[in-house]
Structure 1
Amino acid sequence: MSGAPWTGDDRGHNDEVHERWLRALNRPTGAPGHRDEWYDEQCGGCRFWVALSGDLGRDWGACTRAGAAFEGQVRFEHDGCASFTGRADGSFG
């Protein structure tokens, strides 16, 4: 053991985490009742979504919007909620 901090770059672990966290989506894109307008209101395009570092940060970030239902929680970039606020520059992820 090197004593260096763990970076989280363990493919097997990250794949397990990804699959486990996907089960907690608020708006799964393939679910019945998913509305077309929600495609433009995904977490990855919200100004309050901050990507994680490391490999998980490619798809996952934290919600930082005060008062939002998912504030302080890790959210999938393609999920969404009623508190979505688009980024001024229109970027995603």
Structure 2
Amino acid sequence: MPDNSWTGDDREHNDECHERWLQLRNRRTDQPDYRDEWFDEQCGGCRFWVALSGELGRDWGLCTHPGSAFDGRARFEHDGCDSFAVREDGSFG
């Protein structure tokens, strides 16, 4: 019997998800009103951001902050929100 389990490593599917999900960003670094301090408060550096597995996990994770409007949603590592909480070890991604 073939193994039909999803591994998350379908390049075409991942690229389609990436492009579709980018439209849902809260903060875009290319916006003229993007504040300098937001560069240090991106999701990938938040202690409540958990990276997805597989190829999508290179840029995407899940917000687990109960006080964030994005709790339980996939977030781009370079996005951000007002509920950012810095990681104590200073890591990113």
- What is the TM-score of this pair, normalised by structure 1? 0.96
When the two chains are superposed, the root-mean-square deviation of aligned CA atoms in Å is 1.0
| Structure 1 counterpart of 2:84 | 84
Secondary structure at 2:50's aligned position in 1? strand
Q: Percent identity?
A: 71
Instruction: Give the Å deviation of 1:83.
Output: 0.2
Matched residues in 2 for 1:22 and 1:50: separation?
17
Structure 1 moving runs of 4+ over 3 Å = none
Counterpart code for 2:86:
G
| Structure 1 counterpart of 2:50 | 50
Number of matched pairs: 93
Matching of residue 69 in structure 1 with residue 69 in structure 2: yes
Instruction: Give the Å deviation of 1:3.
Output: 2.5
Secondary structure at 1:61's aligned position in 2? strand
